Structure 1
Amino acid sequence: MKIKEIIVVEGKDDTVKIKLAVDADTIETRGSAVDERVVEQVRHAQATRGVIIFTDPDYPGHRIRNMISEQVPGCRHAFLPKEEAIEKLGRGVGVEHASIESIRKALCDAQYMENNAKEQMTMEDLVDAGLIGGDRAKARREKLGIKLKIGYANGKQLHKRLIMFQVTREQFIAALKEVMEEETR
């Protein structure tokens, strides 16, 4: 499978794993201190071929994703569920630990974020849906992020992603219904 866009990853191990899964070029951020040189590379890549940001499903990965998204609009975003990115011994989490199949699926599901999207959901909607507060909120957000292909996020970030990915109320309700039905099984 060939990917036209350039994929932004965190390090060399991610690049190696991506190249095992797909035919693609990468830009490595080399950690969470993304310098201006890397941002300029990503800007150039976005202008010429397009960019898919594919960082680890952890705090540093989210931080890198947000930093690049703010400085380079119009990138696509690929997300891996955390459980698909955990090292066999459970000591690490990252793209480099994911299966080839999981990487291909995440790249096929990559989406655009729109920072100027009209608000569809409110924080109150998320509280009412049991996604903020309560003992099951985190687990519900994790499952909802997978179903909507927007990755795991805390309550505030979930709200932001719902808006940026322009998730409609109908899409949100349908995915939430699936999550709630899975809880009762």
Structure 2
Amino acid sequence: MTDRTEKVIIVEGLTDKKQVKKVIAEEAEIICTNGTLGVEKFDELLDNHDLDNRDVYILVDEDSPGIKLRNQLSRELPHARHIYVSSEYREVATTPENILATELVGKRIAVNPIFLI
């Protein structure tokens, strides 16, 4: 794992991942959980991505499943930083790029400046 980036952004689904990839301007690994995680799946995620030793960001939807996942990840990864989308948009995938970019910049994640207008 010598080629890995230090930053990991955990999202729920593929559309969330695409939205984040569109906005960020630095190398970061974006991991899709595809919903809540069982113990075995979480342990696999933890080991495969060395989450205990990396800068982890949690960016999930502001709906019931997203909040449940955020709570689960918070317990398992207490060092993780949280990025929130407005409940007005509810989902990462439907959050306008400029709003998402502002939230990411607030956590010191580089974004494409065209989204900060």
- TM-score, length-scaled by structure 2: 0.73
Q: How high is the sequence identity, in percent, across the aligned residues?
A: 29
Give 2:73's match in structure 1, choosing from 59, 62, 68: 68
Two-structure CA RMSD over aligned residues (Å) = 2.2
Give 1:50's match in structure 2, choosing from 55, 69, 76: 55
Label 1:39 to 1:62 Cα distance change in 2 as closer, same or farther (>3 A): farther
Runs of 4+ in 1 over 6 A off after TM superposition: none
What is the one-letter code of the residue matched to 1:104? A
Query: C-alpha displacement at 1:4, in angstroms?
Result: 4.5
Between Structure 1 and Structure 2, the one with more strand by share is 2
Query: C-alpha displacement at 1:76, in angstroms?
Result: 0.4
Between Structure 1 and Structure 2, the one with more helix by share is 1
Query: C-alpha displacement at 1:107, in angstroms?
Result: 1.9
Give 1:77's match in structure 2, choosing from 77, 82, 106: 82
In the alignment, what sits opposite 1:28?
32
Do 1:39 and 1:71's aligned partners in 2 also have CA atoms closer than 8 Å? no
- TM-score, length-scaled by structure 1: 0.48
1:6 matched to 2:3? The reply is no
Alignment of 1:1-185 (within 5 A): 4-22=6-24, 23=26, 24-32=28-36, 34-35=37-38, 36-42=40-46, 44-83=49-88, 85=89, 93-110=90-107
Structure with greater contact order relative to length (CA < 8 Å, sep ≥ 6): 2
> Mind listing any 5+ residue stretches in structure 1 that lack a counterpart?
86-92, 111-185
What is the one-letter code of the residue matched to 1:55? V
Q: Which has the larger radius of gyration?
A: 1
